[in-house]
Amino acid sequence: MSLADLPDPNSSLVVGSVTTTMGTVIMGNGSGDAAVGVDIGTLDSGGGSAAIAFDVLVNEPFPPGILTIANQGQVSGSNFAPVMTDDPSTVAAHDATLTQVANTQLDICERDLGQCGSDLFTCEAAKSEITADLVIANAALGQTGALLNQCTVNESQCQTALSGAQTSLTQCTATRDQCQASLSQSQSLLVQCSADLFQAGGTLAACNTNLTQAGVALTESAAALDQCSSSLQESVANLASTTAELGTTEAALASMTQERDAAEVKISEQDAKIRSLQARLDTCEGHPPNLACQADLSGDGMVNFKDLGLFKSVFFKKCEPTP
Ligand SMILES: [Ca+2]
């Protein structure tokens, strides 16, 4: 005899879970098996028995409105008509075994909520509240995800900015350390000065007097510095003016030098002419009689204005008015 059993369509056989106290499991423990089959063998006459068990998993999701799953096997043999299994908890004979499935609206709500509720209304109210919170949480998650994406996209920029900020921080820290060192040194000097002042038996009044004198000296030094600066500016202006005048003078000197050179050339030319004439005259004097030499009326060896005066004294007489 054998047993055949097809689990409820809203459940699935757990492959490998089929056991029997007699015979052999021929279906249900192999990969891909969806139904159960057991070859029981031959039962003892007059009260023999075999126990067959298997597990199913209730489908998830489960169809709404259905609150049970059913199972019924069929036992077959060579010497009897097929027999349908019986639910032993009911009076009816050969009826399918029904198993309650927690699938009421409250059950569904409780599963959604993840906790037990006293009634459907309370459960739905709690679920609505959680759903609203979930919407808010999802929105926040979306914003966070967007920020994360943006941050990822700008990661290199962020890292660059971070590097710059770290460099600035390092520089600021170094500057701060230097300032603190200077402050510490100043404080040490102040302490030393106070100690010196105490040791010298000085007083605050004397110190103030010195300070006032130092202030006066400082003011005077500042005034002197201002005056020095004014003088310097004036000297610079004078230097510029003198430089300009020097340029003008040098230009005039250059022009005068050119004129002088030209005059020297003319003088040289005139001197040459005079020397030439004198040479001719000397030639005349050396070879008399020469008519050209008769013009030296004064006999001084040169033909000049004296000769012209003598010449005029012969031909030109002053006209005296008739008395
Ligand atoms: Ca029954």
Residues 6+ apart with CB under 8 A from 3: 36, 37, 38, 40, 52, 73, 74, 75, 76
d(CA 70, ligand 1 centre) in Å? 13
d(CA 158, ligand 1 centre) in Å? 74
Entry pTM: 0.42
d(CA 97, ligand 1 centre) in Å? 8
Domain locations in the chain as residue ranges: 2-103, 112-153, 203-235
d(CA 48, ligand 1 centre) in Å? 20
Produce one character per residue of 115-142: b if its CB has 16 or more CB atoms within 10 Å, e if not: eebeebeebbebbeeeeeeeeeeeeeee
d(CA 51, ligand 1 centre) in Å? 17
Residue with tokens 């037990």: 116
Crossing angle of helices 155-199 and 120-153, rounded to 10°: 80
d(CA 258, ligand 1 centre) in Å? 151
> What's the rounded Cα separation, in Å, for the pair 164 and 159?
8
Per-residue pLDDT of the chain (323 residues; tens, 9 = 90+): 999 999 999 999 999 999 999 999 999 999 999 999 999 999 888 888 999 999 999 998 899 889 999 999 999 999 899 999 999 999 999 999 999 998 988 888 888 888 887 899 999 998 888 888 888 888 888 887 887 787 677 776 767 766 777 777 677 666 666 656 665 666 666 566 666 666 666 566 666 666 677 677 767 767 776 776 777 777 777 777 777 888 888 888 888 888 888 888 888 888 888 787 777 777 766 655 555 556 777 777 777 888 888 777 777 666 666 65
d(CA 25, ligand 1 centre) in Å? 25
> What's the rounded Cα separation, in Å, for the pair 90 and 74?
18
d(CA 102, ligand 1 centre) in Å? 22
d(CA 83, ligand 1 centre) in Å? 13
d(CA 39, ligand 1 centre) in Å? 24
